[in-house]
């Protein structure tokens, strides 16, 4: 069964999940959503089509919603979505949102999974200590294995999202009212070594170096890849990230996340 998995990942959690699922399937291709986001309609003739993405503000990242709305999966008989997150699975509308977008396109979401991992949203809370972090990722690997098995046997397992409507509303508010101004909250300290990693790792090419220092424009998705992959921790977002740890999934590197076009 020909399979296509479209993923978006800023700090590697979702890419790790996408790779683990792909390893269980024959004839599976992984495609980075930002890589194809500039094209209009996205066509695929795969029979099994999946989406793997982080939960952003209790729902879908806008890049992912826009992508799903433009997909033409002409032969698809099984569609699945996997949302990675940093906290409790019930506080999300991501799978429901993906299902609604697909319904609008005339498709049915057959399976949806939440994988609790490590939160990349360090403006809210710092990372756990290393042993706790590793333990959480081990638990996540078990959940990924279960989801991958279900997907490999085309099981129709759609995980419930209780009270999804308020979270859907929060996600829309963030997308419409807060996200357009998010880029203004980034700053760069004197520790910056002008390496350009932030510019290269930004999935939407929203950062340029000006006199050696990063400048953020309006297209920001608030994914925080720039902050987490700065080798000298010189990038801050708002006033709470200073002194907090940086994160990427231990099995995913900076090179795995940068676009081959760069
Ligand atoms: C802007 C933003 C908002 C987030 N919102 C949530 C959230 O509402 N609930 C949650 O559990 N995790 C949230 N997270 C954490 C991510 O969903 C989680 O760390 C995810 O696995 C990151 O995936 P990635 O490494 O593939 O980017 C948020 C992260 C970011 C950057």
Q: Tell me the pLDDT tens digit for each residue of 210-235.
A: 999 999 999 999 999 999 999 999 99
- The string of pLDDT tens digits covering residues 53-73 is 999 999 999 999 999 999 999
Mean pLDDT over all residues of the chain?
96
Closest residue CA from atom 22 of ligand 1: 54
For residue 210, the model assigns a pLDDT of: 96
pLDDT at position 89 = 67
> Alpha-carbon Rg of the chain, whole angstroms?
18
Any idea of the CA torsion for 54, 59, 60, 65, to the nearest 10 degrees?
170
Residue 147 vs residues 32, 84, 158, 209, 260: alpha-carbon distances, Å = 20, 12, 11, 41, 28
Query: For atom 31 of ligand 1, which residue has the closest CA?
Result: 223
Q: Output the CA 72–ligand 1 centroid distance in Å.
A: 27
Which pTM value belongs to this model?
0.97
Atom of ligand 1 nearest to the CA of 117: 21
Residue where the block lists tokens 């992508």:
67
Is the pLDDT assigned to residue 39 strictly greater than 90? no
Pocket test for ligand 1, best of 119, 123, 166 (most atoms within 8 A of CB): 119
Closest CA to 84 of 13, 156, 6: 13
What confidence category does residue 262 fall into, taking pLDDT thresholds of 50, 70 and 90?
low
Q: What percent of the chain has pLDDT over 90?
A: 92
Residue 161 near ligand 1, beta carbon < 6 Å = no
Which domains are present in the chain? 3-163 (3.40.50.360), 177-256 (3.30.70.20)
Ligand 1 pocket check for 224: Cβ under 6 Å: yes
């Amino acid at each position: 069964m020909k399979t296509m998995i479209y993923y978006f990942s800023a700090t590697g959690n979702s890419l790790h999940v996408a790779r683990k699922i792909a390893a269980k399937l024959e004839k599976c291709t992984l495609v980075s959503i930002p890589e194809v986001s500039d094209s209009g309609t996205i066509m695929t003739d795969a029979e099994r089509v999946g989406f793997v993405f982080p939960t952003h503000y209790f729902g879908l990242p806008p890049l992912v919603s826009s992508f799903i709305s433009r997909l033409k999966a002409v032969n698809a008989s099984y569609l699945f979505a996997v949302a990675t997150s940093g906290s409790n699975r019930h506080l999300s509308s991501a799978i429901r949102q993906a299902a609604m977008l697909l319904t609008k396109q005339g498709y049915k979401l057959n399976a949806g999974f939440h994988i609790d991992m490590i939160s990349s949203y360090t403006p809210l809370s710092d990372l756990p200590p290393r042993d706790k972090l590793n333990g959480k990722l081990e638990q996540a690997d078990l959940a990924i294995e279960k989801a991958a098995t279900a997907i490999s046997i085309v099981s129709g397992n759609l995980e419930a999202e209780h009270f999804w409507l308020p979270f859907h509303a929060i996600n829309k508010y963030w997308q419409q009212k807060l996200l357009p101004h998010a880029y203004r909250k980034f700053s760069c300290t004197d520790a910056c070594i002008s390496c350009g990693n932030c510019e290269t790792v930004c999935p939407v090419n929203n950062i340029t170096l000006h006199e050696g220092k990063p400048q953020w424009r309006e297209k920001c998705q608030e994914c925080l890849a720039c902050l987490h992959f700065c080798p000298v921790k010189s990038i801050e977002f708002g006033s709470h990230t200073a002194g907090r740890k940086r994160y990427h999934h231990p099995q995913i590197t900076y090179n795995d996340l940068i676009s081959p076009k760069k």
